[in-house]
Amino acid sequence: MFKLVNFRREKIAFSVSEEVELLHHITKENSALDYIEVQLFRMKEGGTYSLSLMGKEVCIVALTGKYTIEDGRCSFENVGTRQNVFEKVPTDSVYIGEGKTFHITCSEEGKVMLCFAPSARKENKTCLIKAADNRVEHRGKYNNQRVVHNILDDQSSISDKLLVVEVYTEQANWSSYPPHKHDQDNLPEESLLEEVYYHEMAPSKGFVFQHVYTDDRLIDETMTIYNEEMVLVPRGYHPVSVPDGYRSYYLNIMAGPTKIWQFHNEKDHEWILDRK
């Protein structure tokens, strides 16, 4: 119901070269999401991609490889810091606001994620979000530990609607845990944010489990997620479990009417936070 894999290139309308492979494309038309759209590409050296933004903003994340990214006025070269996400170092990203046309040229083979959200703020400037500017957090304890690289958090004034973070979870740990949700436009108690997960594992033959469910169980899906797959969370709780022997990486994209991450823990499991 939520797991999306391998959308075919012919369904998409954009300018792309032969050295580019589309791995995922999530839109309002093929999903239950209203605020988030995603494109994920594997690009070889010399590969190019162009798109004009109409009513959208985008955060371009250099998952691996290096890129030149420009919008006709600004140009950033050698965007990207790693060949593998499990080098566990922050990476560079580029934010581009509504109404601009941007171009990506790959200078070192890798994967690039394009995270879109609705925006009417034409004054938003194109900017490079350097790896060194990522705020790094260590969250959780016991078997609920993870490392977070904040690319665009809710404290950032760069984006209009977008939040983008990377999360690393070691073997035999849980993440996005205890189960929490953010699907009610009810501030200050809870914000409404859709969410998308892009997963990778090390070794790549591994898997993780993700459970997406609502209090009334009208949504209640437990999924086995493999390398380079994505999970959509239009609403509900969404914990992730990582098996022994494997490490987990995921990129989170969130967006909603208000760029505030105010979540609600499932009460049955909130006691876990208070363990001594």
CA distance 131 to 80: 8
Identify the H or E element spanning 10: none
- The C-alpha angle 152, 61, 113, rounded to 5 degrees, equals 120
276 inside domain: no
157 in a structural domain? yes
**What pLDDT digit, counting tens, does each position of 245-259 carry?**
999 999 999 999 999
Pairing label, strands 20-26, 174-175: unpaired
Over residues 186-236, the pLDDT tens digits come to 999 999 999 999 999 999 999 999 999 999 999 999 999 999 999 999 999
Residues 74-100: tens digit of each pLDDT? 999 999 999 999 999 999 999 999 999
Predicted pLDDT of residue 16: 63
Q: What are phi and psi of 74, to 5 degrees?
A: -110, 145
- Residue 276: partners with Cβ closer than 8 Å, 6 or more residues away: none
How is residue 72 written in tokens?
């006709």
Q: Report yes or no on 160 lying in a domain.
A: yes
Q: Percent of the chain beyond pLDDT 90?
A: 89
Q: Is cis: bond before 188, omega within 30 of 0?
A: yes
Q: Is the pLDDT of residue 14 over 90?
A: no
- The answer to whether residues 251 and 169 touch, using CB atoms and an 8 Å cutoff, is no
Query: Which residue, 153, 148, 151, is CA-closest to 248?
Result: 148
Categorise residue 228: left if φ over 0, alpha if ψ from -120 to 50, beta otherwise: left
Q: Please check whether residue 100 is in contact with residue 122, taking contact to mean a CB–CB distance below 8 angstroms.
A: no
* Three-class SS state of 24: strand
Residue 275 belongs to a domain: no
Domain count for the chain: 1
Give the model's confidence band at 2: pLDDT under 50 very low, under 70 low, under 90 confident, else very high.
very low
Share of the chain above pLDDT 70, in %: 94
123 assigned to some structural domain = yes
The verdict on residue 27 lying in a domain is yes
Nearest alpha-carbon partner for 206 in 222, 232, 224 = 224
Domain of 106, in residue numbers: 3-270
Indicate which CATH number applies to the domain containing 22. Answer: 2.60.120.10
Does residue 101 lie in a domain region? yes
Would you say residue 43 lies in a domain? yes
C-beta separation of 54 from 102 below 8 A: no
